[in-house]
Each structure stands twice: as structure tokens, then as C-alpha cells.
Amino acid sequence: MNYSSTKAIFLVLLVVAGLNGCATSPTARLYVIEPLATEVEFELDENPIVLIGPVTLPERLNRREILTHGERYRVSAAEYDRWVEPLDENIARAIVANLSVLSRTGTFLPYPASLSGPIDYSVRIVIHEFGDAPDGTVILRASWALIATQSALPVYSEIRLSERCDDSGVITMVAAMSRLVEGLSREIAVALERDAVSGNE
């Protein structure tokens, strides 16, 4: 067998190996926190402009791979289960969408936003815990500050929401996480409504 024949066979083997690798490589599954609010429940006076964010995450959550906590002391990063976008941006957008449905009035924008005029409120959120626990509970624990432009004192709040999931699948966990973000959105809407009422008294 001459050199040319050997080289040709080698190239064919490389191509076949590459095709086999492509055929067996798993496809990444992409997930998103969805806004779930469906009905108007609040009405804010004077149609305020509200900036949602920044949302700050623990460093362990600031990644594309979805984390699962299947057993105590152990956290796993799912190689092929990923967030479709940075989680902090996803959470802010979901809250904006929820508030836009929950409140009959008001303009809600995710941080950062380009504005031609001043904002009336900003909501800064720090996520301390967000995901599943070894017992199957999905948890959202966060603190947040409601900052009114015309007030010198922010309003600080903390929240812990949880939901029990019988199914350990990632899609079930993400659905529960979406419902918890909706719950946080409602708490923010209540605080906005309360502040608007007190500001008019």
C-alpha cells in the first residue's frame, strides 16, 4: 500500500469518526423561567414607571448549567440542562411580565433600561436561594428593596416561598421555580400599591 492510499484511508476514518461523534452527542435542553400571571389584581395610582433590577444571584447560580440538589451536601450541574439566558436577566424579565399583567396601571422595565425620563420606583432584588432541596422542595428565598425616587428611605422586605414537587425532573422544578417567581412578583405588587397609597395620604 503506497503513501497516498494510506493517507486516503486515514482521512476516511477521521470523517467517519467525526460523523459518529456528531450522531451520538446529546443536544442541550434549554429552560426558561416563564411569567405565569393571568389576571389584573392591582391598580397603582399615577401610572408609575418601575425599574425591576438589578437581580443579584449567588455565584453558584450565576451559570448556564441548571443545578440540582438531589442529596444532602451534594450539588450537581446538569451538563445538558441549561438556562436559555443568564438567570438574573430571566428572573427580571419574568417579574416585569408578571407585574405588567397583575397591575392595571404602571410601566415596568427590566434593568438596565434606556429611559428618556426619570423613574418613579426601582426594585433591587438579591436572591439567596433558588432551586430544589434534597427533600423535593423547590425554594425561593430573597430580599429586596423598593426605592421610591421621592423618598429618602427604601422599603426593605424578605421573602421565603416554597413548593413541594413529587416529580424530580428538571422541567417540573423549573415550572415550580416559575410559580415562585410569580409569588415574588405579587409581593412586589402589594408593596408598590401600599407605597402608592401611603404617598397619597
Strand partners, 127: 142
pLDDT for residue 14: 46
State CA 41 to chain mean position distance. 23
Cell 423549573 sits at which residue?
Answer: 174
Interatomic CA distance for residues 176 and 162, integer angstroms: 9
* Structural domains in the chain, sorted by start: 38-199 (3.40.50.10610)
Quick: pLDDT tens for 173-198.
Answer: 999 999 999 999 999 999 999 887 56
Residue 199 binned pLDDT confidence (cut-offs 50, 70, 90): low
Weakest mean pLDDT among 3-12, 73-82, 91-100, 158-167: 3-12
Q: 31-41, pLDDT tens digit by residue?
A: 999 999 999 99
pTM: predicted TM-score of the whole model, two decimal places:
0.84
The 8-class DSSP code of residue 149 comes to T
Does the pLDDT value for residue 60 go beyond 50? yes
Helix pair 87-102, 170-199: axis angle to 10 deg: 50
124 vs 88: CA distance, rounded Å: 12
What the block records as the C-alpha cell of 33 is 423561567
| Strand 49-56 relative to strand 121-132, pairing | parallel
Q: Give CA 182 to chain center in angstroms.
A: 11
Q: How far is CA 42 from CA 27, 81, 136, 159, in A?
A: 42, 36, 33, 20
Cα–chain center distance at 104: 24
